[in-house]
Amino acid sequence: MIKLVKKVRFFQAIIIVTLLVAFLFSPLVGRLLYPYFYREIIEKYAASYGVDPLLVAAVIRVESNFEPNAVSRRGALGLMQLMPATADWIAPQLGIADLTEEMILDPEINIRLGTWYLANLATEFNHNREQVLAAYNAGRGRVAGWLVEGVWSGRYEDVEDIPFPETRNYVSKVNAAYNRYQALY
């Protein structure tokens, strides 16, 4: 009788674990963990600048977790965590005059600026996603230097060769989020 009770409890545990795993990996839970807020704005500017909207969503999730008023320790602003100097450089190229920090925090403007910047980096780095993401995080000059000096091959397989731990982690996190967004949306 004790053996039968143990077998029943074992099978109950298996069923509970199976249901829990199914629940955790369901699209509903996945979409809660990887939301696609600001979808209309993201898709509008992604289409305008030729960027995969799911990559933009992944960058936003990693950068700010969709918090429009996010401000980093270093002063990066908004959903896409743009440094004011970078935003100031981008704005005139998009015909935006007199850019203020309040404007950078506006989701539409922030996504427009950040998506254009991703497209600009994609052109510079031959649409290599890992290089674009590294440049978005560490700066285009640093990444170009790493590539020229042979410090990093620019390939995801060699992401551990990126000299900055923050950038290494960033590229890995955005790629993981991008893969989840592709699976969910």
Catalytic residues: 63
d(CA 133, CA 32): 24
**Tokens 């004790």, located at residue:** 2
Tell me how crowded residue 14 is: count the other CB atoms within 10 A of its CB.
10
Q: Can you tell me whether residue 71 is helix, strand or coil?
A: strand
**Tokens 């009770």, located at residue:** 5
> Which residue, among 147, 174, 152, 173, has the nearest Cα to 162 in the 3D structure?
152
> Which residue, among 119, 86, 124, has the nearest Cα to 104 in the 3D structure?
86
